[in-house]
Amino acid sequence: MSYPRISSFKTAGELRAYLTEAGIDLKLDDDLQVGADAPLAQPYRLANGFTIGNRFCVLPMEGWDGTADGRPSELTFRRWRRFGMSGAKLVWGGEAAAVRHDGRANPNQLLVSEKTLPDLAALREGLIAAHPGRTDDLYIGLQLTHSGRYSKPNDKKRGEPRILYHHPFLDRRMGIGPDTPVLTDDEIKRLIDDFIAAAQLAKRAGFAFVDIKHCHGYLGHEFLSAVDRPGLYGGSFENRTRFLREIVAGIRTSAPGLDIGVRVSAFDFIPYRKGAGDVGEPEPFTGKYRFAFGGDGTGLGIDLTEPKKFMDLLASLGIRMVCITASSPYYNPHLTRPATFPPSDGYLPPEEPLSGVARQIKVTADLKRYRPDLMVVGSAYTYLQEWLPNVAQRVVCEGDADFVGLGRMVLPYPEMCADVLAGRPLQTKLICRTFSDCTTGPRSGLVSGCYPLDDYYRQRPEAAQLKEMKRKPG
């Protein structure tokens, strides 16, 4: 099944007609507004009094390009400078930074430690220096993570999973045997201390907030589906969120004044796999699928009862910022980041990618309407390509999200936000076409970047290696 290229829609009306025909509920504006009154240029006042200068947000994106001891490399600095150049006033986390070595998703992931502190501070400063215009309305956080079952701290090819429970599908896929131990409650307590220590370091490095990552299958997210886990950190909703509550309590005491946000996968499906013709299909399953936070038990549907409870919890903890994303790029890339071309470990789209975009926008809007007091950032807009700004403007006008988060688009085309805000035409040659090389690269042990469109990466030796690998799959 192939779907029309986004670039084939020459007017908003043409795209709208297609959406109607395809039964996809996604709204967009015909024209973009420019100037001080433009919806995307509106400042947003946070509960703590800080005013963020516009409604664009750079989503966290790592490059698998740090040093062995967890410091940024020149590639990392460049990426963060480009985040700054974008003109977006909210920088949600920069990229996942591990709170300790065993939680690194790859041996090149950033690590938050006393040793890396000056470099993390320099990353932030580089971003600010690259930002056009005033910078007192720029809000920059650091995403704190432990990669849980996806930890590969020492070798790009060797997983060293730290799991909370045995998962019926993911264990098998990842070669995790029944004897692999689950983290004990005491080990979790020590990990909570590491998150708190990392938050203190982030504050000293100058970050305005930390994101306690709860998405994409990593450890924080795994807590939310640990329904069978006995003990203090599994089973009831209260237990599954104890990890978050204890981290927040610790940060409030030991890093006062540091703001806290949470990026959460607000829904999840059963893992997908390659089916006939390499098109994605869900793992066959009978009975109730209980391991999807925000799932309805079928493995393929959404029930926001618990995600809403989670929003209530955030509000009760004094957390005012939430970034909504979905599922995991490891087992459901079509939900997390809709794309035309799959990454090397993915599958062809099982649905019109615009449905994936619309699904995240709808869930985000439902959650925003449920808790209008929370500042909500949406994700997964990149697939909209040239129509991203028109959908973004509509979303913000409708109050379906407070911020429009941009991920993949920022890699080749960071200035998209600045161009939209200034009313300049889009630079179509730089628009991300969702080739997924930014994911295939790291899956093949290479640094991540936009190899097809960013000259800097196009000219690197890895570009040729990637081409070769894609020619000879497997």
Ligand X SMILES: Cc1cc2nc3c(=O)[nH]c(=O)nc-3n(C[C@H](O)[C@H](O)[C@H](O)COP(=O)(O)O)c2cc1C
List residues binding ligand X (CB under 6 A).
59-62, 95-96, 143, 215-216, 263, 325, 336-337, 379-383, 406-409, 438-439, 448
Q: 3-class SS at 272?
A: strand
> How many helices and strands in the chain, by DSSP H and E?
16, 14
Q: Are 288 and 230 in contact (CB under 8 A)?
A: no
Distances (CA, A) of 46 to 51, 319, 404: 6, 11, 16
User: Are 295 and 269 spatial neighbours (Cβ–Cβ below 8 Å)?
Assistant: yes
Angle at 15 between CA 434 and CA 10, to 5 degrees: 85
Strand-strand pairing, 51-52 and 44-45: antiparallel
Looking at residue 3, its amino acid is Y
Residues whose CB falls within 8 Å of the CB of residue 417, separated by 6 or more in sequence, listed in order: 54, 56, 86, 87, 88, 406
| 295 vs 293: CA distance, rounded Å | 5
Number of CB atoms found within 10 A of residue 391's CB: 24
Q: What is the distance between the alpha carbons of residues 157 and 235, in angstroms, rounded to a whole number? A: 32
Question: What would the two tokens of residue 454 be?
Answer: 């960013």
* Cα–Cα nearest to 415, from 131, 142, 135: 131
- Integer angstrom CA distances of residue 72 from 63, 377, 473: 10, 26, 30
